[in-house]
Amino acid sequence: MKKLFLLFSLLPLSSSLFTLTAGGFQIPQQSVKSMAYGGAFAGICGDASALFYNPAGMNNLYGQNFTAGVLGLYPYVSLQTPSYGNIDQTSSVYTPIDFYWVGQFCDKWRIGLGVNNQFGSAASYPDTWEGMYIVQKITLKTFMFQPSVSYQICKHLSVGGGFVYTLGTFGDTKAIPVSSNTTSNGEVTINGTGHAFGYNFGLFSKIWETGNDSGSHQCIQLGVSYRSGLPMTVPNGDVTFSQIPASLATQFPASEKFSTKVNLPGVFTAGVAYKFSCCKNWDFMVTYDFNYTMWSTYDSLHIAFTNPNTPNQGFQYNWKNAMAHRMGAEVTYKKSYSFRLGYYIDGTPTQDGYLSPEIVDANSSGVCFGAGVKFCKHYSVDLAYLRSDFTTTSKTWTSQGFAAAYHRVINIFGIGVNYQF
């Protein structure tokens, strides 16, 4: 046990060896409760979304547990380029959902199923804008289906894991710099569906616990988890070319097929939570998670067209692995009314010279708060709000000859319900 502790305690230290830089297109808010904790959940494992954050933490739950939530993710992004004082992204609302079920069938085993959208990204710009040859509209959506199981090895240690099936859709529209007497540029839209398989693994320990009959109780929980990368292949997507001068129809036919591969990254998480209650009415909790996301798998994107005359496309992104620090706190009154606060520092995987207007990202931080109300023994509702705001200086995507300063505000509203019996 002590050894395990050492391992845990080393991890946050070793993080300082890396520059503080999980951003990208991951959505760390995979349950409304965890969102209010700044995304920290591997150590607390307080509801069925533990299945996602740390499958071993499912052993922290008893009976049948259902959690479902929906987020309204509102991004606002503006750019300033060397040519224009301000350009606004045309905002699009993104509504990731999550659903988890964790069931106890005997003392030591839990099984569960989760469905969520771990990765997603959307950006849309006016049809005619300075970067239209890079992006007009881009969307990536993923649905993860993950049956999982956990087992309590001994009093202090549980282990869990699961299988992750991912269904992803990828869509991209941009202008092509070819014009005629009647058209100022061509346009290409690609849409594809892909699949990937991965796994999820975790360890969870309620390593220290003390309490007495007067209601005073303290405990420390630790969790580590690893979610594998998901190499998603999009084998046979649809391509539509439009507004193409007739003389270039050989290169850009009205429709054809494409293939690509999107490497979704693996994520390593270590978390710790401390809970205490000093009297019957008040419970307190603080928690911290460290994420290390292997974004370096997203180094490039290659689009191969079936028509040999259509030039294939290749883009270097050169992302690097990125870290995030997440912390949350909770006060609960009479076991029914919870108030939550969270904060995170999220490092961007983007590097200097590789910032694309397709995915606007930078080192960022966010504040979160939330509330939970338990109406009865079975039902509770969670609400959460998150806000993140950053402004960058002028950043380039050198290989595409594009430069801009970016200002991004994200507001996320979440509502979730829990049912337990």
Partner 1 sequence: MKKSIIYTAIGALALSACTKTQFSTPAYSPGSANFTNTVSVGNSLTQGFMDGGLYYNGQKNSYPAIIANQIQSAVKITFNQPMVTGNGSGYIHLVYENNQFSPIQPGDDSTAGVNPCDQDPSWNTWGDTSKRYNNLGIAGIRLTDCVALTPMEKLINNVAVNWQTTPFTGSRPVGNPYGRFINFGSVLANPIQYIDVIRKSKATFFTCWLGNNDVLGYSLNGGVITSLTVPGFGTFALDTITPPTAFAQKYDSILTAFHNMGAKGVCATIPNVSSIPYFTTVPIYVTVNGNPQYLWITTKTGVRQAMPGDLICLPAYSSVLTGVGFYKSNPLPDNLVLDMDEVANVQSSTLAYNSSIKSIAASYGYPVIDMYEFLGTLQKSYTIDGMTLTAQFIQGGAFGLDGVHPNARGYAVIANQFINQINLSFGATIPLADVSSYPGVNFPNF
Which region, judged by CB under 8 A, interacts with partner 1, from 109-117, 179-187, 284-292, 344-352? 179-187
> Is the dihedral angle over the CA atoms 389, 74, 33, 50 positive or is it negative?
negative
Cα–Cα dist 110/58, whole Å:
6
Per CB under 8 A, does 85 bind partner 1?
Answer: yes
Separation in Å, CA 26 to CA 175, 251, 265, 346, 418: 26, 35, 9, 11, 24
CB of 265 vs partner 1, minimal distance in Å: 25
Binding partner 1 by CB under 8 A: which of 102, 132, 301, 322? 132
Does 246 bind partner 1 (CB under 8 A)? Our answer is: yes
Q: Does 318 bind partner 1 (CB under 8 A)?
A: no
Q: Give the residue, chosen from 24, 131, 342, 366, that forms a contact with partner 1 under the rule CB under 8 A.
A: 131
Q: Does residue 248 touch partner 1 according to CB under 8 A? A: yes
Q: Does the footprint of partner 1 cover residue 393 (CB under 8 A)? A: no
Which three-class secondary structure state does DSSP give residue 180?
A: coil
CB of 170 to partner 1, least distance (A): 19
128 binds partner 1 per the rule CB under 8 A:
yes
CB atoms within 10 A of CB 417: 15
Q: Is 183 in the site for partner 1 (CB under 8 A)?
A: yes
Residue 309 interacting with partner 1 (CB under 8 A): no
Residue 315: CB atoms within 10 A of its CB come to: 16
**Nearest to residue 46, comparing CAs of 260, 323, 340?**
340
Q: Using the rule CB under 8 A, which residue among 151, 274, 284, 413 binds partner 1?
A: 413
Binding status of residue 308 toward partner 1 by CB under 8 A: no
Q: Does 88 bind partner 1 (CB under 8 A)?
A: yes
Size of the site for partner 1 (CB under 8 A): 52
Residue 179 token pair: 């014009």
Would you say 49 and 98 are in contact if contact means Cβ atoms under 8 Å apart? Answer: yes
Helix, strand, or coil (residue 399): helix
The Cα–Cα gap between 150 and 201 comes to: 9
At closest approach, how far in Å is the CB of 189 from partner 1?
A: 16
HSE toward the beta carbon, residue 51, CA cutoff 13 A: 31
Using the minimum distance from each CB to partner 1, give the nearer residue, 345 or 409.
409
Looking at 16-24, 49-57, 172-180, 267-275, which segment touches partner 1 (CB under 8 A)? Answer: 172-180
Residue 5 binding partner 1, by CB under 8 A:
no
Among residues 369, 392, 416, 420, the one that binds partner 1 under rule CB under 8 A: 369
Distance set, CA 100 to CA 266, 407, 418 (Å): 21, 34, 9
Label residue 334 exposed, middle or buried (CB < 10 Å: 0-12, 13-18, 19+).
exposed
> Which residues in this chain contact partner 1 in the complex, by CB under 8 A?
74, 76-86, 88, 128-134, 174, 177-184, 245-248, 250, 337, 339, 369, 371, 373, 383, 385, 387, 399-402, 405, 407-409, 411, 413
